[in-house]
Amino acid sequence: MTETNWFSEDAATFGDRLAAAREAAGLQQKELAAQIGVKVETLIAWEHDLKEPRANRLQMLSGILGVSLSWLLTGDGEGPTDPGDVDVIPDDIAAILTEIRAVRTQIVQRTDRLAQLEKRLRAALKDS
């Protein structure tokens, strides 16, 4: 039996993989856009391969959606299960997973903010 990689570069685009991962995570476009701090229209453009996210947003997407960055970009690596292989997750476990993703997003955002503050501090020290 031949195993099909539904999300490989040959079978799917970045936008296809992003939409599949979002759906597998149980998130609506509006929810995911809010979590990563972009407009819904921007997320829709990514899913339709009209635009591409910057590296920091890719990292956030990977963390929130629980897939590897490599999988998002190429289809190789840790991604959601193939269509038809999805198990039903009990609501209490799904709620915990959603909360974990939200905390992961906050960590990424705070890391970005910390990097900005460090840059400002270095510039201020250099000017002193």
pLDDT, averaged across the chain = 82
The closest alpha carbon to 27, from 118, 84, 105, belongs to 105
Proportion of the chain above pLDDT 90, given as a percent: 33
For 27-76, the pLDDT digits (tens) are 899 999 998 999 999 999 999 999 999 988 998 898 889 888 888 888 88
Query: Residue 7: which pLDDT band, with cuts at 50, 70 and 90?
Result: low
Q: How far apart are CA 17 and CA 23, in angstroms?
A: 10
Q: How far is CA 84 from CA 1, 29, 74, 88, in A?
A: 16, 22, 21, 11
Confidence of residue 125 (pLDDT cuts 50, 70, 90): very high
Q: DSSP letters of 92-104?
A: HHHHHHHHHHHHH
Beta carbons within 10 angstroms of residue 99's beta carbon: 10
Checking if the pLDDT of 124 tops 70, the result is yes
Helix runs in the chain, H state only: 14-24, 29-36, 40-47, 55-65, 69-74, 91-127
